[in-house]
Copies of this chain bind each other. A is one copy, B any other.
């Protein structure tokens, strides 16, 4: 019987309930495990995802991903196998980086880094996050995590999502143009879909007040790069994702005035691993107890 698990961390086996046995495969080399006996496969995180291995597991009943995206996994998923994703595991890391970008832009941290390199001590007053109004576009679990971090900074938060949820104070995307003129900071946390592509273009940037800040931790194509460049610094930006991505050397965005760039690192911090390991522990406990798994994105029925 295919009753064994294949997990990325030895700790998951150590913490597993009685009756759960298996092997560790972190994505390096080949798994030292009898694939025919694997019933639950936790796909390694990072470059060594090895999605195709599931095609060599005839007894497979469930697959756990550690990413939120799961489209590529569907191409390899055998019929009747349940698929779970890693929704929520990156929220804390991404929200934390979004907050870091907001604060860095408002308090001019990139400027001070340049001044440090030049041994220059020239203080001046800066903008602040306090007293600003922050519009979160694509308000979901990352937006919630970001809002929790923004509120004690004494700023207002305006929530916008695809669909209005009036009972939760969430505006629908149709209200975006009405809301942009009152926002001094806009944070994009939406996924990339046909509806969100170009969500912030020339028309939307034009509605923002002078010196507003657009932060993108969603996906590059949410923000129209050419339209941002055309603003010539009137609207500032702090971008963890870009279009194109990776941004090639020589691209004008690198040197655009008021634009600060980090190389798609919002989700990738030490925050992720303990949360991911704990989540796998919990899934194994559910698996052993015969309970429904969490984060199911395709049923095994």
Taking CB atoms, residues of chain B closer than 8 Å to A247 are 119, 121
The interface stretch among A8-16, A35-43, A100-108, A197-205 is: A100-108
**B-contacting 9-mer, from A158-166, A175-183, A249-257:** A249-257
The reply to whether the CB of A133 lies closer than 8 angstroms to some CB of chain B is no
* Cβ–Cβ contact B268 & A125, under 8 A: yes
Q: Does A154 contact B (CB under 8 A)?
A: yes
Cα distance A264–B131 in the bound complex, in angstroms: 21
- Tell me whether B96 and A153 are in contact (CB under 8 A): yes
* Nearest opposing residue in chain B for A269, CB measure: B128
Interface residues of A in 80-96 (CB under 8 A from B): 92-93, 96
- The residue on B at minimum CB distance from A103 is B100
- Chain B residues whose C-beta falls within 8 Å of the C-beta of A152 in the assembled complex: 148-149, 151-152
Cα distance, A250 to B249, chains bound together (Å)? 32
User: How many copies altogether?
Assistant: 2
B251 touches A119 (CB 8 A): yes
**Are the C-beta atoms of B113 and A109 separated by less than 8 Å?**
yes
Complex partner residue of A113 from B100, B114, B122, CB under 8 angstroms? B114
Asked whether A246 is an interface residue with its Cβ less than 8 Å from the other chain, the reply is: yes
Q: Mark A240-273, 1 if CB is under 8 A from B, else 0.
A: 0000011111110010000011111100111100
- Interface: A99 (CB within 8 A): yes
Q: Does A56 contact B (CB under 8 A)?
A: no
Q: Contacts A110-B109, A269-B126 known; A116 to B274 CB distance under 8 Å?
A: no
Extra 16 A-B pairs, beta carbons < 8 Å, given A96-B130, A99-B103, A124-B265: A93-B128, A93-B130, A96-B128, A96-B129, A100-B104, A104-B104, A109-B110, A109-B262, A112-B261, A119-B247, A119-B250, A122-B263, A126-B268, A127-B269, A130-B271, A149-B149
A-B residue pairs in contact (CB < 8 Å), sample of 26? A92-B154, A96-B103, A96-B107, A96-B129, A100-B100, A100-B104, A100-B109, A107-B265, A110-B116, A112-B261, A112-B265, A113-B114, A116-B261, A119-B247, A119-B251, A119-B254, A120-B263, A121-B247, A121-B248, A123-B265, A125-B265, A125-B268, A128-B269, A128-B270, A130-B270, A131-B270
